[in-house]
Amino acid sequence: MTDIINSVGKYFYLWLMKLLISIITTILLMVQATLATAQNVTGTLNNASSNALGGVSSSFADVRGLAANPASIASIKNMQALIFADQRFGIKELSAFSAGIALPTHSGSFGLSLGRFGFDLYNENLISASYGRKLFSNLSVGGSIQYQYFNIPDYGKKGVVGFQLGLYSELNRRISLFFSVSNPGRQKITDNDHLPGIFTVGAMYTPNDRLAIRGEFCKTLEHSEDFRFGVEYAPSSRVIIRVGGQTAPAQFGVGFGIVVLETLVVEASAKYNPQIGYHPGVGLSYGIAFDHKKKL
């Protein structure tokens, strides 16, 4: 009888250890994927369009590009705003919230972005003030100053100032080019950690007023190059469909928007990583024209 109890106990112990190892491995993979794909709030703040379009972040000519390319707001004609909340891979501790607003004036456009990632035991917070304006009829520039605050109870808190520069050029009515750089000096967070230096080159092609095709090449220092691409299609004046993907890591996204008022859009999106799982999110955007008379 004693031998049977010992055997059962040993079997249960081995099973429990395998389960714990599996859980720890899964969590580490999820955290690694989160750091690689999102840069948390130290890189670009997320939104529903970006999440669905494979992570495309700077190749927008409206408030959706605010946190990645401050020049994106230079040509807006009215106030624009967005909010977005996501929970990465179904883990509450990997939740994030983003918000942005942009306002045009006679002296250029001003924007404000806010973001938070994490939970009580570890969180990152960001506030960014941006400015963009047209230099010429087809060339816009922008810049932003960011304050990023890291909080780990019992270990300490740290605030770091970063910055971004961006360019946006309309080659013609159908093709636009984008360039942005974030924190090229890689400001120090700790002795071993720095703000990520990010360089992005992108393009947008709108073959007609219902379709927008976007692509970006993104290089984060000390990380692999990432190619991001996405297609946004409006089959009607009330529906927007989005699909996209990226290469580092390999994953794809899908999403949609429903225009409930003239310029108020309810949006949902999700990324899928074959190794980790889904990264869903929901949001609202206001002031972005999806009436087929302006670029998506």
Q: What is the DSSP string of 242-288?
A: EEEEEETTEEEEEEEEEESSSSEEEEEEEEEETTTEEEEEEEEEES-
Q: Is residue 88 scored above 60 in pLDDT?
A: yes
How many domains are contained in the chain? 1
Does residue 291 form part of some domain?
no
Domain CATH code at residue 143: 2.40.160.60
Q: What is the DSSP string of 227-245?
A: EEEEEEEEEETTEEEEEEE
The answer to whether residue 293 sits within a structural domain is: no
Is the pLDDT at 121 greater than 50? The verdict is yes
Share of the chain above pLDDT 70, in %: 82
Q: Where are the alpha helices (DSSP H) in the chain?
A: 2-38, 48-52
Q: What is the DSSP letter of 11?
A: H
Dist. CA 71–CA 141, nearest whole Å: 5
Query: Which of the two residues, 17 and 258, has the higher pLDDT score?
Result: 258
pLDDT tens digits along 6-46: 554 555 555 555 555 554 444 444 444 444 444 444 444 78
Residue 216: inside a domain: yes
Tell me how far apart the alpha carbons of residues 162 and 42 are, in angstroms, rounded to a whole number: 9
pLDDT of residue 216: 96
* Cα distance between residue 112 and residue 98, in whole Å: 11
Q: What is the pLDDT of residue 22?
A: 52
Looking up tokens 């087809």 gives 138
Question: Is residue 242 in a domain?
Answer: yes
Residue where the block lists tokens 């949609």: 256
Q: Which of 126, 119, 102 is nearest to 183 (CA)?
A: 126
Structure tokens at 286: 């206001």
pLDDT tens for each residue of 183-233: 988 888 777 788 889 999 999 999 998 999 999 999 988 788 999 999 999
pLDDT at 1 over 70: no
Q: Tell me the residue range of the domain where 256 lies.
A: 2-286
Query: Cβ–Cβ contacts within 10 Å for residue 171, how many?
Result: 10
Could you tell me if 280 and 270 are in contact, meaning their C-beta atoms sit under 8 angstroms apart? yes
At residue 131, the 3 state secondary structure works out as: strand
Give the dihedral of Cα atoms 234, 239, 244, 249; nearest 10 deg. 160
Reference 212, options 83, 52, 100, 99; nearest CA is 52
Residue 196 lies in a domain: yes
pLDDT in tens, 138-193: 999 999 999 999 888 877 888 999 999 999 999 999 999 999 999 988 888 777 78
Per the domain annotation, does 296 fall within a domain? no
User: At 127, is the secondary structure helix, strand, or coil?
Assistant: strand
Q: Tell me the percentage of the chain whose pLDDT exceeds 90.
A: 60
Instruction: Give domain status of residue 295, yes or no.
Output: no
In a domain, 188, yes or no: yes
pLDDT band at residue 65 under the 50/70/90 scheme = very high
Transcribe 155-173 into DSSP letters. Answer: TEEEEEEEEEEEEEEESSS
177 burial class (0-12, 13-18, 19+ CB within 10 angstroms)?
A: middle
CA–CA distance, 31 with 28 (Å, rounded to integer): 5
Among 65, 70, 77, smallest CA distance to 140 is for 70
